[in-house]
Amino acid sequence: FTSTREMQEFNNMSDAEVAEWVDSFDTVMTDCDGVLWVGGVAIPGSVEVVNLFRKMGKKMFYLTNNSAKHRRVLKEKLDKLGFNAKLEECTNTAFLAGQYLMQENFDKDKLVYVLGQQGLVDELEDLGIKSLPIGPDPVPSDGTWSVDGVPVSEDDLDSRVKAVICGFDVHLSWKKIILAANYAARPNTLFIATNTDERFPLKGDGCKLLGPGTGTMVSPVVMTAGRQPVELGKPSRYMFDIIQKKYPDIQPSRTLMIGDNAATDIAFGNNCGLKTLLVGTGVSKLEEARQFECGKEEDKIYVPNIYITQLGDIINRV
């Protein structure tokens, strides 16, 4: 990644520059929410652009840091909205967690403590990896769990647990943090974070609230356990490495990463040596990208090659 590269605005590019740019990549990796759709509705023009890329012979891959659902659910949504994806084109952080355990030769006679949702468990089960039960595990109201003490000791922890995976969990509780952290603190236990996104816009009619991302759920476990996890999601390059392992002909220099979040999508693309396109229909806007461009050297990783207002703007220029 060359930090001195300046960001171009797509709408200011000439037809010749657009044509040269489109010819410069054979593979397209794209984030989903905020790029292709918002909520359950496709962003205007996004379906047409993706299908145009396919018609031009470009490989398509759909990447998301969402660990709550199985890749099948992502494929179903893509198909419903008209993107017509194959399962092998879909990669999420729940899938990555299973792949990482397989790479580490995880003993399938052992168990995983999962701080997360059913989709993460389902991805593990596809590989024959078992986990402790998930779901609500609140602090009891009888006062037995408090800062004065808890009714469990190290001896009560399941000795079969040899990995902890922290993902997005709507049932996060003080009790779960204690269990996850103490499992993670044990020697020879793998400690994995699906991703560390800080926040995301909550969906709903007229809703403009922000929700805590997976990073806010990973952080208390990290602080309590006193050790850092292996991070799998964007901006880590692990997602790209897993895809390239299956498709070794993919060339980073001829791959485009499309995203709406400079801190995850664009940093991921730059970390992997990909071309980057930031769309303005999600988290990051043009003003923020310009600030990164003019900011500190460490901020340059968030600067895309090109900024576009929405993905659909490509359709009338190609």
Instruction: Assess whether 156 carries a catalytic annotation.
Output: no
CA torsion through residues 71, 73, 117, 124, sign? negative
Instruction: Assess whether 249 carries a catalytic annotation.
Output: no
Could you tell me the two tokens for 100? 């990482």
What is the signed CA dihedral for 221, 225, 226, 231, rounded to 10 degrees?
-50
- Give the separation between CA 182 and CA 169, rounded to whole angstroms: 18
Q: In terms of Cα–Cα distance, which of 300, 264, 305, 228 is closest to 63?
A: 264
Catalytic residue among 23, 33, 137, 265: 33
State the burial class of residue 172 (Cβ atoms within 10 Å of its Cβ: 0-12, 13-18, 19+).
buried
Q: In terms of Cα–Cα distance, which of 220, 126, 90 is closest to 164?
A: 220
Q: In terms of Cα–Cα distance, which of 97, 145, 88 is closest to 121?
A: 97
Could you tell me the two tokens for 240? 């790209």
Beta bridge partners of residue 114, listed in sequence order: 165
224 contact partners, CB below 8 Å, separation of at least 6: 177, 178, 181, 182, 185
Rg (alpha carbons) of the chain, rounded to whole number: 21
HSE at residue 200, side-chain half, CA atoms within 13 A, is: 20
- Give the separation between CA 157 and CA 126, rounded to whole angstroms: 26
Catalytic residue among 15, 31, 107, 148: 31
228 contact partners, CB below 8 Å, separation of at least 6: 191, 222
Distances (CA, A) of 214 to 13, 68, 133, 191, 195: 37, 10, 20, 15, 6
Q: Give catalytic residues, as residue numbers.
A: 31, 33
